[in-house]
Each structure stands twice: as C-alpha cells, then as structure tokens.
Amino acid sequence: MGQEGGGASGRGLCHGPAGLGDEDGLPVASLGVLGPWQQQGMADSAQAQKLVYLVTGGCGFLGEHVVRMLLQQEPRLCELRVFDLHLGPWLEELETGPVQVTAIQGDVTQAHEVAAAVAGAHVVIHTAGLVDVFGRASPETIHEVNVQGTQNVIEACVQNGTRFLVYTSSMEVVGPNIKGQPFYRGNENTPYEAAHRHPYPRSKALAERLVLEANGRKVRGGLPLVTCALRPTGIYGEGHQIMKDFYHQGLRLGGRLLRAIPASVEHGRVYVGNVAWMHVLVARELEHRAPLMGGQVYFCYDNSPYKSYEDFNMEFLGPCGLRLVGSRPLLPYWLLLFLATLNALLQWLLRPLLLYAPLLNPYTLAVANTTFTVSTDKALRHFGYEPLFSWEESRARTIRWVQAGEDSTQ
C-alpha cells in the first residue's frame, strides 16, 4: 500500500485518463473504440485491470464499505486511492491484494490536495463529508467541508480529465423539512417542500446541486463530465457509531432503552453494504448509460423494514440483550422538545468552556419524530441495482458487529 500526504503517485501499471498513451488527456483513447468499461469481456486478462478509482472519505463508516466493496466487486480496478483526513489502520491489511491501494491523507477543503489525488483517476466516488447534526462543528466548517470540498472535487475532475463522479448525498437533501411534513414511502419524483435551516442538510443540498449542475461540463480533453448523486436514508450496519452509542446507553440503564418516539413514525433505513454496492454499480454503469444516468439522483434503498427509528434499532439491540420499555413514548412530546431545547441552550452557554453535544436536540428530535421513508425502483430501472444483502443477512451482520464490541467493521 502506498502512503501519500496530499498527492498520489506510484501507480504501477495503471494508466490514468490522461495516461493511456494520449497526450491530450482523452480518456482511454489508446484503447481505440473500447472505453474502460467496455473491457469487461477481457476481465480475465491482466489488461482488464486498468481503472484508477478515488474514494474520498474512504476511511469513514460508509467509505470503508465502499473501499472493500470495490476491491471485491470491481475486477477492472488497477489502483484504488483512499483519500481521507484521518487514515484508518485497517488500510494496511489491504496491501496484499492484486490492486494497488494508495492511502492519501488529505483535506477536501484544500483544492491542491484534491487535485493531486484526482490526477489520473478515471472515477471519483465522493463520500467525504462532515456529518454533524449535533452541533459539534460550526456551520461555517460544515459548509466549507461539504460544499467547498465538493466544489474542489468537481474542479479537480474538470482539470484532470476525470469523467465520472459519484456523489454521496443524503435523504436530508429532501427532508424532513422545517415544517416536519411527512414523506411517506416517496420516490425521487414525489413533490415535497425541501426547506432547511440546519447547516448539515443545507450543505448537502447545496453540494448535491453543484454536482448535478456539473454534469455535462467539459473536462480536460473535451469530453463531458458525467455525475450523479446517491441519497441514502439513515445508514446502519457494521461501523455505525450511533448504534453503538445506543447499545452502551442501554447497558448503562440496566439493559433498557426508553421509548421516546411513537412506533407509528416511520424512519427510512438502509444497510451500509447495499449503499456501498449501489455506489460501485453506479460508478460502473455511468459511462454505459451516461445519457440516462448523468445528472440524476437516486435514493438508496433495500428490503430493510419500515419502522420507527427506535423499533428499527431494536432489531439489532434486542438480540444483544436490550429491551425497549413502553409501547408508547414514556415522555410527552412537549417535554422531549423542552429537553431538546434545553440541550441546545446548554450547548450555546457552555461553548466557550467545553463542547456539549448530546444526541437529543431540536433538530435530531424533529428528524426522528417525522415520517420519512422511500419506496422506489429508480436504481433498478436505470442501472439494474438490486440489494446485494437481504434484510436477514444485513440484520445478522449488524447484530454480529454489535455483539463483537469492537470498532472495526470486519
């Protein structure tokens, strides 16, 4: 595994889009009529291993699964660049495989670091982001990472002749909105008033728009950039820190969790392995189906059941020995809202002294307490997506991970 500090080199036998014997940077020109994706028929030959992928945020919860999924499911991979602010030690175990894994410690807010990492890559999967709905980071920082960072990725693709960009967006680009209106089993075309005040969903919405508007821009060499955005609902699975937090909270409360949200409020959830698989498939199919997929958004979905946030968590925490107390919320909503508001006030008051960022605040309460679920087959129709993991398997894997009590996803 190569380790880099803000740049990428040592690509071995891989050829980047500007490196396939073409000085103008025209992707895959030296392959004649074959694009990199059309090499599938040559999958057995060494020649088929030509593609360079970059995964930003590749050491995060989702990013790690995307990295592992690419190594398992993308036979044409030659080099996989994993770009993150914080590199994970697990990357070292990947160095024995046939694909060159290049770890790049870098910051998406630094345009030159992003440009160096993108140089020579065929595909960028941009999952890096500041996922903060708890008030840990300032709104300015969230904007800088999520919006400016995404703009840097787009510009780096344009400068370097990288044609395929997959962006990890979020359900929160749509909602729940500030009015708390339900989105019940909606799809990508369901009308919904997407209005946000919170910095995280606002930043994701702005970044998604940048990515979609960049579709069709000419990259170096003159070919069009092809972009699309994936919108996961609440992701769960191995590595899901909030699930672990609830587990430990339950243990501290003597094996109990207290119901706070009505069981009738549906919250969309999707297994991390299926979200990763969707990213791999989209990246693979973008060139084949550029006119159809370019500039599109897709919700991430699978066969996980529709339940409330807490009831869904109990699918995993129940078998780990926890019990959800109450068939109805134990506290009235007004009291929860009062506590959430008090938390927000305390956070503000204590900020000069310490960071107070509990799970409950008015925003997280609103998200947990508003129905938001998706029901769509757009990904199946556009690029043949079907979940790789059944609900039973997703559940079993997640339970095993919670029981293992470690932080690794494996």
Ligand X SMILES: C[C@@H](CO)CCC[C@@H](C)[C@H]1CC[C@H]2[C@@H]3[C@H](O)C=C4C[C@@H](O)CC[C@]4(C)[C@H]3CC[C@]12C
Q: At what angle do helices 272-285 and 61-73 cross, to 10 degrees?
A: 50
d(CA 144, CA 109): 6
Q: Are 196 and 202 in contact (CB under 8 A)?
A: yes
Q: Rule CB under 6 A: is residue 309 a binding residue for ligand X?
A: yes
Q: 102 is in the binding site of which of ligand X, ligand NAD, none (Cβ under 5 to 8 A by kind)? A: none
| Cα angle value 75/77/81 (rounded, 5°) | 145
- Residue whose CB is less far from ligand NAD, 20 or 205: 205
- Which two tokens mark 126? 């941009």
d(CA 339, CA 260): 12
Q: Rule CB under 6 A: is residue 275 a binding residue for ligand X?
A: no
Q: Rule CB under 6 A: is residue 150 a binding residue for ligand X?
A: no
What character string, x for contact with ligand X (CB under 6 A) and - otherwise, covers 192-231?
----------------------------------------
Among 39, 102, 146, 170, binds ligand X (CB under 6 A): 170
How many angstroms separate the Cα of 184 from the Cα of each of 149, 307, 373? 32, 12, 5
d(CA 410, CA 408): 6
Q: Rule CB under 6 A: is residue 67 a binding residue for ligand X?
A: no
Q: Contact region for ligand NAD (CB under 6 A) — 31-39, 80-88, 374-382, 388-396?
A: 80-88
Residue in the structure block whose two tokens are 């030159």: 112
Among 172, 208, 311, 315, binds ligand X (CB under 6 A): 172
**CB of residue 369 vs ligand X: minimum separation in angstroms?**
7
Q: Rule CB under 6 A: is residue 263 a binding residue for ligand X?
A: no
DSSP 160: H
Q: 133 is in the binding site of which of ligand X, ligand NAD, none (Cβ under 5 to 8 A by kind)? A: ligand X
Among 53, 61, 299, 363, binds ligand NAD (CB under 6 A): 61
Residues 125-164 that bind ligand NAD (CB under 6 A): 127-131, 145, 149
Annotated catalytic residue 200: yes
HEC string of 164-227 equals EEEEECCHHHCCCCCCCCCEEEECCCCCCCCCCCCHHHHHHHHHHHHHHHHCCCECCCCCECEE
First-to-final CA distance of the chain = 19
HEC string of 387-403 equals CCCCHHHHHHHHHHHHH
Q: Rule CB under 6 A: is residue 398 a binding residue for ligand NAD?
A: no
Q: Rule CB under 6 A: is residue 234 a binding residue for ligand NAD?
A: yes
Q: Are 186 and 389 in contact (CB under 8 A)?
A: no
Q: Contact region for ligand NAD (CB under 6 A) — 231-239, 248-256, 287-295, 339-347?
A: 231-239
Among 17, 63, 234, 387, binds ligand X (CB under 6 A): 234
DSSP 308: -
**CB of residue 127 vs ligand NAD: minimum separation in angstroms?**
4
- Residue whose CB is less far from ligand NAD, 173 or 322: 173
Residue number with the smallest Cβ distance to ligand X: 234
**CB of residue 21 vs ligand NAD: minimum separation in angstroms?**
32
Active-site residue, selected from the candidate residues 53, 167, 200, 298 = 200
| Stretch (H or E) spanning 40 | none
- Which two tokens mark 192? 């919904």
Among 17, 60, 273, 294, binds ligand NAD (CB under 6 A): 60
Q: Are 112 and 92 in contact (CB under 8 A)?
A: no
Residues of this chain that bind ligand NAD (CB under 6 A)? 57, 59-63, 84-86, 107-109, 127-131, 145, 149, 168, 170, 204, 232, 234-235
Give the catalytic positions in this structure: 200
Kindly list the residues in this chain that would bind ligand X in the complex (CB under 6 A). Answer: 131, 133, 170-172, 234, 242, 260-261, 267, 309-310, 359-360, 364-365, 367-368
